[in-house]
Chains A and B, each alone.
Chain A
Amino acid sequence: MEKKEPWARVSVVGVLGVLLLSHAAYSTIQYRSLLKITDEQFSGPPINVVMELIAGLVLCMWAALTVPGKFLSILPHSDENRVVALPTNLDFMIFNHRGKAFPLSIDAK
């Protein structure tokens, strides 16, 4: 599975949600022009448009939560944050810094 940046990934659920919202918008525009003909006040779109809006909102909410990516653990000692390889540019690394204040520890797993 190729890894793309979140703004480049598109999900079927998201597209479907946006399509539902566009259709609801189109229906509302038609409804409003109809009201203009009969010269009534626009108090709210018809109930099926409201249902469509709620469905579109739920689908878009699902897409907004799943498409951008997974949360990654920030704990340094968790299983998925294990340091399994040394960097290759060791000659350029400086060790004379504030990290000396941390205690050394043996943490073999």
Chain B
Amino acid sequence: MANLGAPGKTDSDITDELPTFNVENMQNNAKIIYYSRTFMSIIGGVIAGILGFTGLTGFILYFLVMAITSVGLAAKAGFSVHSYFDGWNRIILDGFLGGLLSFVLFWTYPYDVS
């Protein structure tokens, strides 16, 4: 295929304005983040229940677990986030509060067993 683009503009100029991504892989990566965060929310809930946290302390534990998960996910991506996601927000903020309800559910299970 010959380059029939407009004269004066190189190919890389045009493709730089329109970033294209492999969508299937983007969805795969988002799915992985979702699974990881959900699982860690549940584990965090169980731990909060076992330790007998009540009130604010439990939520602090939730945010701590989510922050550690964010760091773990960034490490899994080798800290070169831009080859797997379209921004740092995806890996750090996406799904942060999504596991909150699962956390509270599993938090109340062991806390109630006594």
Instruction: Determine if chain A interacts with chain B.
Output: yes
A interface residues, Cβ below 8 angstroms from B = 6-7, 17, 21, 24-25, 28-29, 32-33, 36, 42, 44-45, 49-50, 53, 56-57, 60-61, 63-66, 68-76, 78, 81, 102-106
Q: How far is the CA of A53 from the CA of B45 in the complex (A)?
A: 12
**How extensive is the interface on chain B, given as a class?**
35 or more
**In the complex, A102 Cα to B84 Cα: how many Å?**
23
Given A21-B50, A44-B51, A81-B25, is A68 in contact with B3 using a C-beta cutoff of 8 Å?
A: no
Which residue of A is nearest B32, CB measured? A68
Give the one of B9, B35, B47, B113 with max A CB within 10 A.
Answer: B47
Cβ B28 vs Cβ A104 within 8 A: no
B56 interfacial contact with A, CB 8 Å = no
Interface of chain B: mostly helix, strand, loop or mixed: helix
> Quick check: B29 and A74 within 8 Å, CB to CB?
yes
Q: Give 10 closest A-B pairs by Cβ, nearest first.
A: A103-B5, A72-B25, A68-B35, A104-B1, A74-B21, A68-B32, A64-B39, A71-B84, A60-B43, A105-B11
- Chain A contacts of B29 at CB under 8 A? 71-72, 74
